[in-house]
Amino acid sequence: MKNILILGAGRSSASLIAYLLRQSQQQGWQITVADYSEENARERVKGYANARAIAFDVANETQKEEEISKADLVISMLPPAHHLTVAETCLEQGKHLLTASYASQEILALDERAKKATIIILMECGLDPGIDHLSAVKEIHKLKEKGGIIKSFSSYTGGLVAPEYDNNPWNYKVSWNPRNVVLAGQGTVKYLQDGRYNYIPYYKLFSRTNKIVVNGYGEFEGYANRDSLKYRSVYGLEEASTFIRGTLRRPGYCQAWDVFVQLGMTDDSYLLENSLALTYKDFIASYLPTSDKPIKECLRDYLNVSDATLHKLEWLGIFSDEKIGERNVTPAQVLQKLIEQKWKLEKGDKDMIVMQHKFGYELQGIQKELTASLVVIGEDSVYTAMAKTVGLPLGIAAKLILQGKIALTGVQLPVVKELYEPILTELEEYGIVFKTEEKEV
């Protein structure tokens, strides 16, 4: 009898918990779902006698230690800032830990200790990061095995709305943490293109997009992710002269979102003065030069925005006379409030995950390009494509570890055959299948 502890029962945990529960009877697992809201946790485990739902506060040291002590393996779906304290307890107690989050420097520094404790701390095992690593490295290994020299790598992923349910001018709905949607891209972007290091500041990011086409699903635009460079060595692609990872949106989204960025309205570092008294129109006016003209004209003069963009902004309600109605909020929080209402994935809506890797390589003197694309459509607004693609890799990895099939210890990313082969194979059963195309260039 093995015990699995899942910390966090939010949106992204639905498919993970459902997968583990379905497997639990056959595998002989006891499952504990722990969430700040006991109700959330209870909702997830309904109907399973071998599952327990508890109210959980990661700041409560005693509870954290007690619950982890009862588990054989912990999966943390908490916000990334909490992983370190969970990892410390897992190390002390010799329990495996899995997350879908980026491995911070602090987590990477635990490698030696995790090896000594003979546990695995498996990070970045969700969608992006996660399935991107699994699938990219699998193709890279295959290309290298047949003698290919990989010269360029680019990879884009987007969490979007499925075409049939795409009924707003932004062609976007929120299937994950809306706060991250508002703050996306903050920091400096770094990547390698044609042998040159490229840097893009946040405020140029949304105007420097690439066109990406996915067969059968049309056009997308991609903007680069924060730091692509560190994955060159992780993927074994030190020799590639182009290496870029990015995020996908539908065409037009970035140009319109860029208006908020240019105005400074995505800033999360200060509180607005007097926000309770402000309307959304007053809010945007605070970022425009003083003028007697109507607000849209003023915006057009200032940033030279297109009609299509103005329409998107208007639809979002940013010119409305409605009051924000919040005290002590940052500009980013006001935007988040707007998009949570307007970009909501409604009951019955389905989301869509799109991922595409392109590998430029040379084989026997011939220049080739391999494209691997993945599209996943969600089941509904709970078992979303996002929840599925984030949760299933974690669930499958947890199963493999508890079955003793993974000998790895230390801090690991899912970039080794031992992980990508069984995980990608099982993901296919859930419709998570890449399509590849190859051509000479």
Closest to its own copies by CB, 203 vs 343, is: 203
Which of 96, 151 has the CB closer to its own copies? 151
Residue 232 lies near its own copies (rule: CB under 8 A):
no
Q: Are 32 and 3 in contact (CB under 8 A)?
A: yes
Residue from 36, 287, 343, 430 touching its own copies (CB under 8 A): that is: 287
As a whole number of angstroms, the distance between CA 360 and CA 39 comes to: 49
167 C-beta neighbours (distance < 10 Å), count = 10
Q: At what angle do helices 14-27 and 38-45 cross, to 10 degrees?
A: 50
Helix axes 307-316, 331-342, angle to 10 degrees: 90
For residue 213, the cross-strand partners are 219
Among the listed residues 107, 272, 305, 406, the single contact to its own copies using CB under 8 A: 272
For 32-89, give the DSSP string: EEEESSHHHHHHHHTT-TTEEEEE--TT-HHHHHHHHHH-SEEEE-S-GGGHHHHHHH
Angle of helix 131-145 relative to helix 385-402, nearest 10 degrees?
70
To its own copies, the closest distance from the beta carbon of 395 in angstroms equals 36
Work out whether strand 435-440 and strand 366-377 pair parallel, antiparallel, or are unpaired.
antiparallel
Q: Which residue has the tokens 């509904």?
A: 380
To the query of whether residue 268 is one of the catalytic residues in this protein, the response is: no
Say if residues 250 and 290 touch (Cβ distance below 8 Å).
no
Tell whether residue 193 is a contact of its own copies (CB under 8 A).
yes
Q: Does 102 bind its own copies (CB under 8 A)?
A: no
Residues 329-368 that bind its own copies (CB under 8 A): 331
Among 76, 209, 247, 262, binds its own copies (CB under 8 A): 262
Q: Does residue 321 interact with its own copies by CB under 8 A?
A: no
Q: Which residue among the candidates 35, 111, 128, 166 is catalytic per the annotation?
A: 128
Taking CB under 8 A as the rule, does residue 239 contact its own copies?
A: no
Under the binding rule (CB under 8 A), the answer on residue 167 touching its own copies is no
The encoded tokens of residue 117 equal 């404790």
Residue linked to tokens 């595409």: 356
> Whose Cβ is closer to its own copies: residue 194's or residue 239's?
194
How many residues form the binding site for its own copies (CB under 8 A)?
31
- Binding residue (CB under 8 A) for its own copies from 47, 105, 199, 404: 199
For the CB of residue 184, give the shortest distance to its own copies in the complex, in Å.
Answer: 16
Question: Which range binds its own copies by CB under 8 A, 76-84, 285-293, 404-412, 432-440?
Answer: 285-293
Question: What's the closest the beta carbon of residue 56 comes to its own copies, in angstroms?
Answer: 35
42 lines the binding site for its own copies (CB under 8 A):
no
Q: What span, in angstroms and rounded, lies between the C-alpha atoms of 303 and 163?
A: 30
**Residue (55 or 285) nearer to its own copies, CB:** 285
End-to-end CA distance of the chain: 54
289 binds its own copies (CB under 8 A): yes
Residues engaged in binding its own copies (CB under 8 A): 187-188, 190, 193-194, 196-201, 203-204, 208, 229, 262-264, 267, 269-270, 272-274, 282, 285-287, 289-290, 331
Catalytic site positions: 128
